[in-house]
């Protein structure tokens, strides 16, 4: 708001040279956005449809690609709810209670954003791989984690861990505990407080976090790459399928990639819609 | 032990710690343990090879340069989005998030197609003697791409909350627009700008998907450190080497995480002045 009033206040005295500088800055910024962001997005669709619609449809209907889509949806269907509950639980603990190690817990929740996805995958192998800490025990019980679905889920949960918690914690912090405490004095039990007081107040922020979490879960490459083993039709998620196709069939790789790009555009559109319609329910940052 | 008023503390903390433990803490401990077990001389034997050193130099060097470029581009875009009103401003604002939401492998493919010698941009740069795809310049470009939104999104809320009185005071004292920007606004933005820089840097150092396609992964030339980790795991089954290199990357991430924390505290102190 302050910025706008400044702009208006000083607009009165804007000289032609300032107006020229302003136009120059706007043009420069738009060029950066178009050159750096829009052109790559357009390039994906252009390459995907280069050999025509029939080729495109054929490429995305290959059995391996269908299997990859199914696996990506499966991984997201497990990892996203896990993270949704994680975000709610972490936010409940972080915002309604004081306990030793709280700051450390907050830092740990943020950690996955700054760790390289490849390093994350490596760390999972060191624990769950054949020669890892739990490798022998898992093998004894006939559970395969690395190069199988559980590994993909673990890697996905790792890289998406902060998304929901990060949206909820600042919001619930700002809202305080008064309403929950009032419900408690009126005789509500824990679950009633959670479902009838807390959840309705954070539902849009929760949806926002889940949306971003889902986009990352479906698009994750590095961490999943390390733990997947790339068994075609078995442990290839959609991004891994894109990578493998790229070696063999350039246009087919772009056709499959365009599905992920479409998901991105859709995600960004819903994100904007949420910010526009429910911005005041999200958080001061948006 | 303090008494908690609201219920659900135990349930919330135990679920949080279970997920955090199995996905983050245990793997983190395993990496630290494996790296410590190596000892300094074995660790150096893994890290000190020409190939690994070249990859580390490229990863950190290109990431540093990319974060600096992001800082400049991000400042420009954040400034224009917050201060000026123009057609398609909202669309431009929404576009900034693209690198956050676009799967990294897709971004890598797109940049490669665009900057390859037969691509839209690559074919135009070739006559000028500039090659981007499969060179270090390509690595830099991919890193600029992934780090870009961090600077813009960190700066925007701060720019919006910037009080106008300081600027107006400078204006009445006869400061030119450039002077107002350099001497009043920029110093106020500095901690935030550096926070965005550190976030972009952390992302660029660890980036894998968007870089490996456009880099071409040429020995000693365009191999990045995360690529070497993957190579060691996949084709050499060299878990010790991969762990040694991962430990270096993890250390860099942790240092940057601490730096971001310090910078954010600094920025909050400045917020009082704003």
d(C-alpha B242, C-alpha B239), whole Å? 5
How many CA atoms lie within 13 Å of B12's alpha carbon, on the beta-carbon side? 23
pLDDT of residue A2: 47
Q: Which CATH number is A95's domain given?
A: 1.10.3720.10
Q: What is the pLDDT of residues B177-199, one digit of tens each?
A: 888 888 888 988 999 999 999 99
Instruction: Tell me: do A29 and A5 sit in the same domain.
Output: yes
Nearest to A44 among B16, B109, B242 (CB): B109
Average pLDDT in chain A: 90
Instruction: Tell me: do A219 and A123 sit in the same domain.
Output: yes
Instruction: Tell me: do A7 and A90 sit in the same domain.
Output: no
d(C-alpha B173, C-alpha B267), whole Å? 27
Q: What percentage of chain A carries pLDDT values higher than 90?
A: 79
Least confident residue range of A47-56, B19-28, B172-181, B196-205: B172-181
d(C-alpha B61, C-alpha B114), whole Å? 24
pLDDT of residue A283: 67
Please give the average per-residue pLDDT across A60-83, as a whole number: 96
pLDDT of residue B65: 98
Where b means 16+ CB within 10 Å and e means fewer, A145-170 reads bbbbbbbbbbbbbbbbbbbbbbbbbb
Instruction: Tell me: do A83 and A22 sit in the same domain.
Output: no
Largest CA distance in chain B: 73
d(C-alpha A264, C-alpha A41), whole Å? 10
Interface test with B, best of A4, A36, A47, A106 (most B CBs within 10 A): A36
Six token digits for residue B174: 């006869």
Q: Is residue A69 a contact partner of residue A259, using CB atoms and an 8 Å limit?
A: yes
B96 band by pLDDT with thresholds 50, 70 and 90:
very high
Please give the average per-residue pLDDT across B82-99, as a whole number: 93
What is the distance in angstroms between the Cα of A91 and the nearest Cα belonging to chain B?
9
d(C-alpha B256, C-alpha B41), whole Å? 26
A241 band by pLDDT with thresholds 50, 70 and 90:
very high
Site of tokens 């890289």: A159
Please give the average per-residue pLDDT across A101-110, as a whole number: 91
Instruction: Tell me: do A32 and A101 sit in the same domain.
Output: no
Q: Which of A28, A48, A68 corresponds to the end of one domain? A: A48
Nearest to B16 among A89, A117, A127 (CB): A89
Instruction: Tell me: do A38 and A135 sit in the same domain.
Output: no
Contact B94 A272 (CB under 8 A): yes
Contacts of A271 in chain B (CB under 8 A): 94, 97, 101
Instruction: Tell me: do A114 and A243 sit in the same domain.
Output: yes
Per-residue pLDDT at A4 exceeds 60: no
B1 band by pLDDT with thresholds 50, 70 and 90:
very low
pLDDT of residue A17: 77
B274 band by pLDDT with thresholds 50, 70 and 90:
low
Instruction: Tell me: do A71 and A125 sit in the same domain.
Output: yes
Q: What is the pLDDT of residues A178-195, one digit of tens each?
A: 999 999 999 999 999 999
Please give the average per-residue pLDDT across B115-131, as a whole number: 93
Q: Which of A48, A66, A85 corresponds to the end of one domain? A: A48
pTM of the model: 0.92
A284 band by pLDDT with thresholds 50, 70 and 90:
very low
Q: What percentage of chain B carries pLDDT values higher than 70?
A: 98
Stated length of chain B: 274
Q: Which of B200, B29, B8, B152 is nearest to A108 (CA)?
A: B29
Instruction: Tell me: do A32 and A67 sit in the same domain.
Output: no
pLDDT of residue A285: 47
DSSP string, A51-114: THHHHHHHHHTSHHHHHHHHHHHHHHHHHHHHHHHHHHHHHHHHHH---TTHHHHHHHHHHHHH
Six token digits for residue B47: 């890290």
Q: Which of A48, A65, A87 corresponds to the end of one domain? A: A48
> What total of structural domains would you count in chain A?
2
The answer as to CATH 1.10.3470.10 being correct for domain B48-273 is no
Output DSSP code: residue A131.
T
Instruction: Tell me: do A222 and A253 sit in the same domain.
Output: yes
* Alpha helices per DSSP H over chain A: 2-11, 16-33, 39-48, 52-60, 63-96, 102-114, 117-128, 135-140, 149-160, 162-175, 178-185, 190-193, 199-219, 222-228, 238-248, 250-282
Close Cβ partners of A177 (under 8 Å, ≥ 6 residues apart): A95, A96, B5, B6
What is the distance in angstroms between the Cα of B95 and the nearest Cα belonging to chain A?
7
- Tell me the ipTM for this assembly: 0.92
Instruction: Give, in degrees to the nearest 5, the angle at Cα A215 between B100 and B95.
Output: 40
pLDDT of residue B16: 95
B134 band by pLDDT with thresholds 50, 70 and 90:
very high
Please give the average per-residue pLDDT across A207-226, as a whole number: 95
B161 band by pLDDT with thresholds 50, 70 and 90:
confident
Contact B157 A181 (CB under 8 A): no
Q: Is residue B228 a contact partner of residue B243, using CB atoms and an 8 Å limit?
A: no
A242 band by pLDDT with thresholds 50, 70 and 90:
very high
d(C-alpha A235, C-alpha A62), whole Å? 16
User: Domain residue spans in chain B?
Assistant: 1-39, 48-273
Per-residue pLDDT at A233 exceeds 90: no
Q: Is residue B231 a contact partner of residue B22, using CB atoms and an 8 Å limit?
A: no
Q: Which residue range(s) make up the domain with A6?
A: 1-48
pLDDT of residue A232: 79
What is the distance in angstroms between the Cα of A259 and the nearest Cα belonging to chain B?
10
Three-state DSSP at B205 gives: helix
Please give the average per-residue pLDDT across A195-209, as a whole number: 94
Q: Is residue B242 a contact partner of residue A122, using CB atoms and an 8 Å limit?
A: yes
Three-state DSSP at B101 gives: helix
Per-residue pLDDT at A1 exceeds 70: no
When comparing pLDDT for B200 and B274, which is higher?
A: B200
Q: Is residue B149 a contact partner of residue B96, using CB atoms and an 8 Å limit?
A: yes
d(C-alpha A182, C-alpha A151), whole Å? 43
Average pLDDT in chain B: 92
Close Cβ partners of A181 (under 8 Å, ≥ 6 residues apart): B5, B6
Instruction: Tell me: do A16 and A139 sit in the same domain.
Output: no
The Cβ of residue B158 has, within 10 Å, a number of other Cβ atoms equal to 21
Three-state DSSP at A205 gives: helix
Nearest to B145 among A28, A36, A120 (CB): A36
Q: Is residue A218 a contact partner of residue A238, using CB atoms and an 8 Å limit?
A: yes
Per-residue pLDDT at B246 exceeds 50: yes
Six token digits for residue B228: 């070497």
B26 to chain A, any CB pair closer than 8 A? The answer is: yes
Instruction: Tell me: do A121 and A246 sit in the same domain.
Output: yes
């Amino acid at each position: 708001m302050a910025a706008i009033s400044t702009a208006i206040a000083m607009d009165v005295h804007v000289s032609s040279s300032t107006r020229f500088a302003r136009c120059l800055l706007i043009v420069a910024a738009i060029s950066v956005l178009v050159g750096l962001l829009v052109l790559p997005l357009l390039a994906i669709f252009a390459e995907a449809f280069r050999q025509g619609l029939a080729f495109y449809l054929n490429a995305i209907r290959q059995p391996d690609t269908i299997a990859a889509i199914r696996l990506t949806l499966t991984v997201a269907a497990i990892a996203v709810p896990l993270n949704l509950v994680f975000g709610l639980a972490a936010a409940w603990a972080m915002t309604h209670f004081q306990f030793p190690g709280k700051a450390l817990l907050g830092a740990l929740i943020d950690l996955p954003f700054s760790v390289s996805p490849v390093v994350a995958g490596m760390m999972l192998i060191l624990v769950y791989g054949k020669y890892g800490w739990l490798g022998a025990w898992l093998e004894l019980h006939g559970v395969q984690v690395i190069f199988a679905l559980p590994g993909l889920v673990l890697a996905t949960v790792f890289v998406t861990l902060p998304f929901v918690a990060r949206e909820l914690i600042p919001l619930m912090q700002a809202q305080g505990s008064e309403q929950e405490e009032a419900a408690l004095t009126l005789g509500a039990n824990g679950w009633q407080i959670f479902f009838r007081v807390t959840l309705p107040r954070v539902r849009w922020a929760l949806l926002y976090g889940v949306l971003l979490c889902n986009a990352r879960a479906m698009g994750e490459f590095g961490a999943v790459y390390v733990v997947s083993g790339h068994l075609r039709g078995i442990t290839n998620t959609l991004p891994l399928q894109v990578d493998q196709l790229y070696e063999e069939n350039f246009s087919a790789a772009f056709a499959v990639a365009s599905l992920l790009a479409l998901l991105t555009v859709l995600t960004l559109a819903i994100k904007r819609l949420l910010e526009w319609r429910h911005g005041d329910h999200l958080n001061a940052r948006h | 032990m303090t008494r908690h008023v609201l219920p659900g503390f135990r349930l919330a903390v135990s679920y949080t710690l279970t997920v955090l433990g199995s996905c983050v803490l245990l793997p983190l401990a395993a990496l630290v343990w494996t790296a410590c077990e190596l000892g300094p001389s074995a660790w150096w034997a893994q890290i000190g090879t020409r190939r690994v050193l070249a990859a580390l130099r490229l990863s950190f060097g290109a990431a540093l340069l990319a974060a600096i470029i992001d800082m400049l581009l991000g400042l420009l875009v954040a400034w224009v989005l917050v201060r000026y009103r123009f057609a398609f401003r909202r669309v431009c604002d929404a576009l900034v998030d693209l690198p956050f939401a676009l799967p990294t492998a897709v971004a890598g493919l797109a940049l490669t197609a665009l900057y390859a010698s037969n691509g839209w941009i690559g074919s135009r740069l070739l006559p000028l003697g500039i090659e981007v795809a499969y060179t270090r310049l390509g690595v830099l470009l991919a890193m600029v791409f992934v780090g870009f939104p961090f600077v813009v999104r960190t700066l925007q809320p701060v720019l919006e909350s910037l009080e106008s009185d300081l600027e107006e005071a400078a204006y009445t004292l006869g400061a030119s627009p450039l002077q107002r920007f350099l001497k009043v606004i920029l110093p106020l933005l500095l901690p935030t700008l550096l926070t965005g820089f550190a976030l972009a840097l952390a992302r660029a150092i660890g980036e894998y998907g968007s870089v490996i396609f456009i880099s071409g992964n040429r020995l000693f030339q365009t191999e990045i450190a995360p690529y070497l980790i993957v190579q060691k795991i996949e084709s050499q089954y060299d878990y010790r080497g991969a762990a040694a290199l991962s430990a270096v990357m993890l250390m860099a991430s942790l240092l940057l995480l601490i730096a971001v924390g310090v910078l954010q505290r600094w920025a909050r102190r400045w917020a009082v002045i704003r």
